[in-house]
Amino acid sequence: MKMIEPHPPELTRAAATFAALGSEQRLMVLNALVRAGPDGLSIGELGTRTGVSGSTLTHHMKILSLAGLVAQERKGRSIICAAVAYDELRHLSDFLLRECCADVPESQRGHEHG
């Protein structure tokens, strides 16, 4: 079997991003923000939708923010949170699927891929 390794910076970036997503609560928070679209949600609404609030939500937002997946902006008395890395999320899925079934003979793949 031929080993094809991704470019090291790409692997490092993907690992860091996957690490940031390595929590059910963080995935739930990110999913809620992706569903909300570019306008995002207030921190209060985000807590209500996910059931995560207070210091736990602050902790998860910090990790997601450091990974470049979300942003927070103060608007008046509210803090608005939004997913900002749609391209990064696409890149992560492409990273995983890029070489889907590359080591399996085409006759045995059983599905179409591009």
Write down all domains in the chain, each with its CATH number in brackets.
Answer: 20-98 (1.10.10.10)
Alpha-helix runs per DSSP H in the chain: 8-20, 24-36, 43-50, 54-66, 86-97
Question: Band of the pLDDT at 95, cuts 50, 70, 90?
Answer: confident
- Backbone angles phi and psi of 71, in degrees to 5: -135, 155
Q: Name the average pLDDT for the chain.
A: 86
Q: Is the pLDDT of residue 1 over 70?
A: no
- Summarize pLDDT for 35-81 with one digit per residue, the tens: 999 999 999 999 999 999 999 999 999 999 999 899 999 999 999 99
Residue 112 has pLDDT above 60, yes or no: no
111, two tokens: 């599905």
CB neighbour list of residue 92: distance below 8 Å, 6 or more residues apart = 14, 17, 18
pLDDT confidence bin for 105, thresholds 50/70/90: confident
Which residues make beta-bridge pairs with 73?
80
Residue 86 banded pLDDT, cuts 50, 70, 90: confident
Burial classification of residue 104, based on how many CB atoms lie within 10 Å of its CB (0-12 exposed, 13-18 middle, 19 or more buried)? exposed
Express as a percent the part of the chain with pLDDT over 90. 54
pLDDT attached to residue 15? 84
